[in-house]
């Protein structure tokens, strides 16, 4: 295999999920100074999407301005003017940013949020001790103040698995953008909400769902092993499934398929790796696979699929092309 180091591989490395072989690959790749620049470019990008916290940049800039020696200090002592200008510029930048993202800023102040990039999964412990595992391309947010004391409300877009600590007086809720709300009574479950589809799978304990159907508010109590599906414009559906834990196997980078068609798989590849899927021959999309596989990257998963079905694939510009 030739030395292919891409953004995804490095993102995995930053998240501490590289095999020794991959590390060696990256080390070789870094031998080229141009790649060192790329490394920091991607590190910066990764930090922006996986930020541990957001410091107050404006205050920091003002503080630092007090310690700065003026650029032209030797020639012209015009420090006060410089400093004034400095502050002014800082203010202008701050205002611009503010104007561009008032909504985001308000959210930033009131909520703490965490997100994962394509191909990344991540676990977070909330202040109340509950555990959330985020699947790839997922965002959750919760109150910066008072979470665990005044409320235990979490907002989700994407897919996440929850293990919630019991607290009789403070119910834990998960709100999605689909008029679907999960009220938790101490438990383990998975919520998926992307595009037009939302699902909830309960593994243990008890949860109550609140959702709107045909303009009516509805409530439903789930039992362990229940899979609830809501599709925009269709009736909601409740199924019993044998192994609810299979639906959160992605936590360990396991992919489980049970007569899963390639067209269903296409949706999953899009959600988790940000790649769209094209079939050269429509009949390909109906072929299906079963089994469980471990894959850390899209390439690993696609290799397995291609081998199993004895088909070929290429990736060009963010699209996977399957062919006979």
Partner 1 sequence: MKEPKQSSGNNPLRIAVDKDANDQALLMDNETFIRIMLKDDPDKGFAVLFKKYYGPLCSHATRFVYSKEIAQDIVSEVFLNFWNKQLYETVTSTFRAYLYTAVRNSAYNHLKQEFGEKLTTSPEPVEDANPQSILLLGELMTKIERTIETFPPQCQKVFLLSRFEGRKNREIADELQIRPKTVEAHMMKALSILKKTLSDYLK
The minimum distance between CB 207 and partner 1, in angstroms, equals 23
Strands 237-240 and 312-316: unpaired
CB nearer to partner 1: pick between 101 and 234: 101
Please state, in angstroms and as integers, the Cα–Cα distance from residue 85 to each residue in 62, 67, 81, 88, 94, following that order.
Answer: 12, 15, 6, 5, 14
Tell me which residues touch partner 1 (CB under 8 A). Answer: 2, 4-8, 13-16, 23, 26-31, 33, 36-37, 39-41, 43-44, 47-48, 50-55, 57, 60-61, 63-64, 67-69, 71, 82, 85-86, 89-90, 93, 97, 118, 125, 129, 273-275, 297-299, 306, 312-318
Strands 111-115 and 139-143: antiparallel
The minimum distance between CB 51 and partner 1, in angstroms, equals 4
Token representation of residue 205? 């304990």
The minimum distance between CB 89 and partner 1, in angstroms, equals 5
CB nearer to partner 1: pick between 90 and 256: 90
The minimum distance between CB 77 and partner 1, in angstroms, equals 15
The minimum distance between CB 176 and partner 1, in angstroms, equals 24
Please state, in angstroms and as integers, the Cα–Cα distance from residue 285 to each residue in 280, 281, 323, following that order.
Answer: 9, 8, 10
CB nearer to partner 1: pick between 290 and 319: 319
CB nearer to partner 1: pick between 40 and 103: 40
The minimum distance between CB 205 and partner 1, in angstroms, equals 19
CB nearer to partner 1: pick between 92 and 234: 92
Instruction: Write a three-state SS string for the chain.
Output: CCCCCCHHHHHHHHCCCCCHHHHHHHHHHCCCHHHHHHHHHHHHHHHHHCCCCCCCHHHHHHHHHCCCCCCCCCCCCCHHHHHHHHHHHHHHHHHHHHHHCHHHHHHHHHEEEEECCCCCCEEEECCCCCEEEECCCCEEEEECCCECCCECEEEEEEEEEEECCCCCCCCEEEEECCCEEEEECCCEEEEEEECCEEEEEEEECCEEEEEEECCEEEEEEECCCEEEEEECCCCCEEEECCCHHHHHHHHHCEEEEEEEEHHHHHHHHHHHHCCEEEECCHHHHHCEEEEEEECCCHHHHHHHHHHHHCCEEEEECCEEEEEC
CB nearer to partner 1: pick between 54 and 292: 54
For the chain, what's the residue count? 324
CB nearer to partner 1: pick between 230 and 320: 320
CB nearer to partner 1: pick between 221 and 315: 315
The minimum distance between CB 38 and partner 1, in angstroms, equals 10
The minimum distance between CB 180 and partner 1, in angstroms, equals 27
CB nearer to partner 1: pick between 105 and 238: 105
The minimum distance between CB 227 and partner 1, in angstroms, equals 29
């Amino acid at each position: 295999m030739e030395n292919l180091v891409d953004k995804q591989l490095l993102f995995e490395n930053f998240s501490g999920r590289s095999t020794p072989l991959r590390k060696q690959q990256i080390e070789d790749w870094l031998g080229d100074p141009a790649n060192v620049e790329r490394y920091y470019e991607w590190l910066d990008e990764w930090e922006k999407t996986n930020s541990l916290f957001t410091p107050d940049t404006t205050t920091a800039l003002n503080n630092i301005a007090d310690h700065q020696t003026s650029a032209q200090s030797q020639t012209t002592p015009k420090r006060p003017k410089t400093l004034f200008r400095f502050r002014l510029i800082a203010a202008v930048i701050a205002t611009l940013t503010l104007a561009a993202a008032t909504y985001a800023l308000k959210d930033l102040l009131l909520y703490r949020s965490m997100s994962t990039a394509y191909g990344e999964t991540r676990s977070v412990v909330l202040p109340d001790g509950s555990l959330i595992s985020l699947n790839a391309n997922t965002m959750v947010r919760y109150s910066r103040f008072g979470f665990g004391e005044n409320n235990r409300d979490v907002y989700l877009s994407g897919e996440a698995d929850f293990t919630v600590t019991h607290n009789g007086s403070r119910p834990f809720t998960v709100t999605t953008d689909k008029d679907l709300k999960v009220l938790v009574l101490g438990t383990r479950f998975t919520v998926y909400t992307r595009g037009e589809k939302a699902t909830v799978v309960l593994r243990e304990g008890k949860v109550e769902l609140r959702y709107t159907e045909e303009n009516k508010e509805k409530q439903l109590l789930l039992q362990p092993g229940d899979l609830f599906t809501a599709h925009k414009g269709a009736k909601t559906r409740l199924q019993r499934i044998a192994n609810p834990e299979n639906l959160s196997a992605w936590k360990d980078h396991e992919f489980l398929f049970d007569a899963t068609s390639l067209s269903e798989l296409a949706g999953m590849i899009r959600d988790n790796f940000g790649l769209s899927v094209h079939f050269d021959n429509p009949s390909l999309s109906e072929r299906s696979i079963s089994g469980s596989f471990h894959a850390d990257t899209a390439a690993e998963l696609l290799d397995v699929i291609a081998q199993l079905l004895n088909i070929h694939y290429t990736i060009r510009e963010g699209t996977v092309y399957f062919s006979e």
